[in-house]
Structure 1
Amino acid sequence: MDEIALIVAAVVTLASTILLHRTFFRRSRFRLPPGPKPWPIVGNMPQIGGAPLHSLLAAMAGEYGSLMYLRLGSVGVVVAASAAVAEKLLKVHDTNFLSRPPNAGAKYIAYNYQDMVFAPYGPRWRLLRKISTVHLFSSKALDDHRRIREEEIAVLVQALASSGEVPAALGSLLTVCTANALGRTMIGRRVFGDGGSGDDSEAKQFKAMVEQVMILAGKFNPGDFFPSLEWLDLLGVASEMKKVHKWFDDFLTKIVEEHRNLLARGRGGGHQDLLSTLLSSAEDENEKINDTEIKALLLNMFTAGTDTSASTVEWALTELIRHPKMMAQAQQELDSVVGRDRAVSDLDLPQLVYLQAVVKETFRLHPPTPLSLPRMAAESCEINGYHIPKGTTLLVDVWAIGRDPKEWADPLEFRPNRFLPGGEKAHVDVKGNDFEVIPFGAGRRICVGMSMGLRMVQMLTATLVHYFDWALPNGLLPDELNMDEAYGLTLRRAQPLVVHPRPRLLPGVYQKSP
């Protein structure tokens, strides 16, 4: 009997040990990343109110680490706030985070997920991305459309040169310029008349539409985190989204119908623009897209391609005005490479090493989208020993990564020299390969318009620095410029930059502008 008891005791002990080991292993394997303790029902929502979300999450990362887990209502959210963590999520586990979580912006603004930005990963998304890449963003397409960009930038230069003693609201003019360049590329014509003024009512209306889309897309909406309460629209966000959607849809419907009529009369411009290509694709079953998808794609291009580029250039010029020695260095490089007797060309950009460093530093300190567009885990996975459950929303804090003191010396200082040959970050680019600066995202869902956006930002910044010296109105000193950020999906200036442009090139250069 004693032997039987010993055997039973041994079996029980072994079973208990195995059970305890399995329980411990399961708990450790399913351990969530650290984060603030959630409240009942609402989760961590009370802890993220007030300041802009990207800066709040950056502050939290200092306490909980660069991989955090939050519960917002009934939605689990994982936040990446360092280059190393972002690389694991967007490179190593990229295929697991290819779709977007449900959200009101995609539903009510972006044609119920029929656009390219918010569409679920799959055949339709791949088709929209292929069409955009081939006809708008390939190297051939960018070279084919170089003349359009240069002509629209020349119109901007004329508007600035003729402003006289009236200070220029630079952001509005940049929005008009980028929108018209995109418009001629996408729909074969300018969006705003002659493109010469950022103050006409049509330009103001378009700028207001774009900004409202970006503001609402970044606005807190309870229905996104409590799906069962979505129908209540507690803060009226869905109602606002429906209004701005109708505003934009009317605008886009008119464009599509006018273009279809021109094509029917044989006046479509030889199918050189994107819209002509999309409308003519109705005959090709392999690439056929409907009017809703066409308008959704145009919505993506106009919103993502105007506000982001314009705000980045506005930040770049602001920083150079605040740092006169850097402005002088950029102008000296332009005078050496381009001279004072002609305009800057796309072909000059590879030789403008300091100018490129200025743009990179602007993207680092003022990323156009401070928080990446959300992604969603298709399956559970493990990151740094932590469990990320299926269905978790992923946010990458691009703003925090660019200001990470573990990654950057003097992270709050504007220092383009760090990207110059011999600088500590000379090897870093902004194209999604180096995760220290990822203004366009990374992985398969990297911004499809990155190549055009980067070239447009470089060209506009180079042109403004080359053509003009800049003075602030009313005796304002450079170090007195307000550097506050406006809240929204894009990182705009809270106070638009208002400046006096002073021509610095030979007079004949301005006369050559079309």
Structure 2
Amino acid sequence: MEPRTNINLRSIDRSEPHQTSLITSPNMDKAYIAVLSFVFLFLLRYLVGRAGGGGKGAQQLPPSPPAVPFLGYLHLVKTPFHAALTSLAARHGPVFSMRMGSRRAVIVSSPECARECFTEHDVAFANRPRFASQQLISFDGAMLSTSSYGPYWRHLRRVATLQLLSAHRVGCMTGTISAEVRAMVRRMNRAAAVTPGSAARIQLKRRLFELSLSVLMETIAQTKTSRTEANADTDMSPEAHEFKQIVDEIVPYLGTANRWDYLPMLRLFDVFGVRNKILAAVSRRDTFLRRLIDAERRRLDDGSESENKSVIAVLLTLQKSEPEVYTDTMIMSLCANLFGAGTETTSTTTEWAMSLLLNHPEALKKAQAEIDASVGTSRLLTADDVPRLGYLHCVINETLRLYPAAPLLLPHESSTDCKVGGYDVPRGTMLLVNVYAIHRDPAVWDDPGTFRPERFEDGSAEGRLLMPFGMGRRKCPGETLALRTIGLVLGTLIQCFDWDRVDGVEVDMTESGGLTIPRALPLEAMCKPRAVMRDVLQEL
């Protein structure tokens, strides 16, 4: 039986998407009482926990590292958090628990236990924990990625899978992806032409981010980024630059290592102004989205919408027949999810793939040779060519194994008591699945820390758990679009250019933290148009 939910399709007020009940400026008497109450409740829970608890009998809870009063295990929260949890799993086992401030969490780091969570207990772990920061960012929990499991979430999921990310719509997006890849390659070729015969120094992340955003802008809102003569060959359009700044301001608060979410006192006093920073970034994001939605609404009213409707046009059409369901807030939340998930993850994964290839030039040459043999050098790679490029797929799989887009997935929360790995997991426990650790498990993968695409060539990796997009009913619905985009972009970059490291120095593979797994330093590489592709590049 599925857990009940109080969320109603008609309950979201589109006029006030950012209301919150957080106390941010109380008088000192209230603050003093709140602090004493928090201390008392924490000590009470701490003492009861130490007493072992009775009633139903002693529970066999997962092991845990030593805790610090009040903070719990927050002193162990380090960047990158997935790496810190991997180290703790090595000492405490594949299932262990942590109390993070006011929350209890269970961390799973083995493929067997991950399968158990998302098969046997998939419904039990279908909920999301409610974080103060995410409520501000996600329209009070209205986003598909953060909404509680129930009728509202099922409706959003159905709209996303059937209307927005179906195989048919992703197929229709292929032409847009190809056009944006060609435009990026053309600009990179011009940048290299400034010094004929020499390689140009390229920062890839900004160009990859703009490509991802441009594809989504045309698909979601049927609009293009504004390129003029003045910025025709820059690495980022004004719209991409604006949205990248918004993403960079929001992403730090989306990770599971955000202490502001776990300690009520930090939210009570908010001496660092976290709430105001989040709301400022969210306001800029919503202004960006409203511009797109208003433009599409005008086109629909004027009758000038094309036959191949944009995502927003589809949602606005549905709004006319069911306005109480397809509210402006719902439309904005779906668009925000698509933009947020579709830009950062695909661009970051492609950047990691190029970083790995630059540090393994023999793999880069092998991928290039495969493309030359299968596609030739008289035309650009197309989406229809990608499925035939077996080694390119091995490179992508190995990149996703080593650097999964969401190394801890989005957190889940148990709606009922259950058992994982033989341990009791009480209702209301936050579940963190460490995909990063699972993909690097030495009991499953030979030499797990080494980039070796060939491990996927002979089919021997089949059956081993690879879950960069999650698993179960809350698996990311954008997997098909992401893989199609990454394959076409990465294949084209390999086909059109010769790549080398800057000054011959090995690429630094240090990871940063957050919801995704960004590089600590943006990738810079030397890019030179291939002589055998000169005629093709000149025709772009």
Match of 2:436 in 1: 399
Match of 1:8 in 2: none
CA distance, structure 1, for counterparts of residue 415 and residue 457 of structure 2 = 40
CA distance, structure 1, for counterparts of residue 124 and residue 97 of structure 2 = 17
Match of 1:3 in 2: none
Bigger drift between 213-222 and 438-447 goes to 213-222
* Alignment equivalent of 1:179, drawn from 183, 206, 213: 213
Instruction: Show structure 1 runs of 5+ residues with no match.
Output: 1-22, 429-433
CA distance, structure 2, for counterparts of residue 227 and residue 289 of structure 1 = 34
Percent of paired sites with the same residue: 32
Counterpart contact for 1:365–1:399, Cα < 8 Å: yes
Counterpart contact for 2:226–2:238, Cα < 8 Å: no
CA distance, structure 1, for counterparts of residue 517 and residue 421 of structure 2 = 30
TM-score, scaled to structure 1? 0.88
Change (3 A) 1:159 1:106: same
Aligned positions of 1:176-215 closer than 5 A: 176-193=210-227, 197-215=234-252
1:283 aligns with 2:320: yes
1:157 aligns with 2:157: no
Aligned positions of 1:82-231 closer than 5 A: 82-164=110-192, 165=195, 166-193=200-227, 197-218=234-255, 220-227=257-264, 230-231=267-268
1:378 aligns with 2:415: yes
Secondary structure of the corresponding residue to residue 347 of structure 1: coil
Match of 1:39 in 2: 68
CA distance, structure 1, for counterparts of residue 226 and residue 138 of structure 2 = 23
CA distance, structure 1, for counterparts of residue 324 and residue 144 of structure 2 = 14
How many residues end up aligned between the 2 structures? 478
Match of 2:514 in 1: 488
Displacement, 1:233?
Answer: 2.8
Change (3 A) 1:362 1:192: farther
CA distance, structure 1, for counterparts of residue 245 and residue 430 of structure 2 = 30
Counterpart contact for 1:213–1:303, Cα < 8 Å: no
Secondary structure of the corresponding residue to residue 394 of structure 1: strand
1:57 aligns with 2:85: yes
Counterpart contact for 1:334–1:352, Cα < 8 Å: yes
CA distance, structure 1, for counterparts of residue 63 and residue 101 of structure 2 = 17
Bigger drift between 166-175 and 387-396 goes to 166-175
Counterpart contact for 1:271–1:277, Cα < 8 Å: no
Match of 1:498 in 2: 524
Change (3 A) 1:455 1:296: same
Bigger drift between 346-355 and 220-229 goes to 220-229
CA distance, structure 1, for counterparts of residue 352 and residue 393 of structure 2 = 14
CA distance, structure 1, for counterparts of residue 294 and residue 259 of structure 2 = 37
Bigger drift between 388-397 and 90-99 goes to 90-99
CA distance, structure 2, for counterparts of residue 63 and residue 148 of structure 1 = 48
Displacement, 1:223?
Answer: 4.5
Counterpart contact for 2:225–2:238, Cα < 8 Å: no
* Alignment equivalent of 1:70, drawn from 69, 92, 98: 98
Secondary structure of the corresponding residue to residue 368 of structure 1: coil
CA distance, structure 2, for counterparts of residue 239 and residue 400 of structure 1 = 35
Displacement, 1:280?
Answer: 1.0
Bigger drift between 58-67 and 219-228 goes to 219-228
The C-alpha deviation readout for 1:450-501, integer Å capped at 9, x for no partner, is 110111111111111111111333x233xx2111112221111111112232
CA distance, structure 1, for counterparts of residue 535 and residue 324 of structure 2 = 48
Displacement, 1:99?
Answer: 1.2
Displacement, 1:217?
Answer: 1.0
Displacement, 1:229?
Answer: 5.9
CA distance, structure 1, for counterparts of residue 237 and residue 320 of structure 2 = 39
CA RMSD of aligned residues (A): 2.1
Change (3 A) 1:286 1:91: farther
* Alignment equivalent of 2:534, drawn from 503, 507, 514: 507
CA distance, structure 2, for counterparts of residue 138 and residue 305 of structure 1 = 15
Instruction: Show structure 2 runs of 5+ residues with no match.
Output: 1-53
Change (3 A) 1:235 1:407: farther
* Alignment equivalent of 1:453, drawn from 482, 497, 509: 482
CA distance, structure 2, for counterparts of residue 113 and residue 99 of structure 1 = 12
CA distance, structure 1, for counterparts of residue 510 and residue 259 of structure 2 = 27
Match of 2:458 in 1: 421
Match of 2:492 in 1: 463
CA distance, structure 1, for counterparts of residue 480 and residue 140 of structure 2 = 27
1:170 counterpart letter in structure 2: L
Displacement, 1:47?
Answer: 2.4
Counterpart contact for 2:128–2:411, Cα < 8 Å: yes
CA distance, structure 2, for counterparts of residue 25 and residue 488 of structure 1 = 38
Displacement, 1:227?
Answer: 4.4
The C-alpha deviation readout for 1:26-82, integer Å capped at 9, x for no partner, is 32xx1111110222222111222x332100100000000011111112211000111
* Alignment equivalent of 1:80, drawn from 103, 108, 114: 108
Displacement, 1:412?
Answer: 1.0
1:320 counterpart letter in structure 2: L
2:389 counterpart letter in structure 1: L
Counterpart contact for 2:227–2:237, Cα < 8 Å: no
